Amino acid sequence: MTTSAGYVNSSLEISDTLPRDQAAVLATYGVLLAIGGLSNIVVLISLARTRRRKSRIDLLMTHLVLADVCVTCGVIPLETDVEQNGGGLYSLRGP
């Protein structure tokens, strides 16, 4: 938004730039990213701190947690880019 003097008004809020439905979706993605990332890190730390011999189930759980962290930290930010800018992987290439 530009003022009459030609300066850019940088005091826009998220409600000014995004439709109401889109702001709710982005907030939901943010909450899911925080909860998913933190809970998976907690499970990964608890699996790493066990003093007993690692079983096959522990190895499977470790791999599942690592895969879930990769998906959570990779897909949700890309999905928020799609919601916010209408982009995604193809928008990373530039104009």
User: 60 versus 24: which is more confidently predicted?
Assistant: 60
Exposure letters 45-56 (e unless 16+ CB within 10 A, then b): eeeeeeeeeeee
- Domain span holding position 47: 37-78
21 lies in some domain: no
9-44 per-position pLDDT tens digit: 556 555 556 566 777 877 888 898 899 889 998 988
pTM of the shown model = 0.58
In a domain, 9, yes or no: no
Give me the number of domains the chain comprises.
Answer: 1
Residue 68 CB coordination number (10 Å)? 16
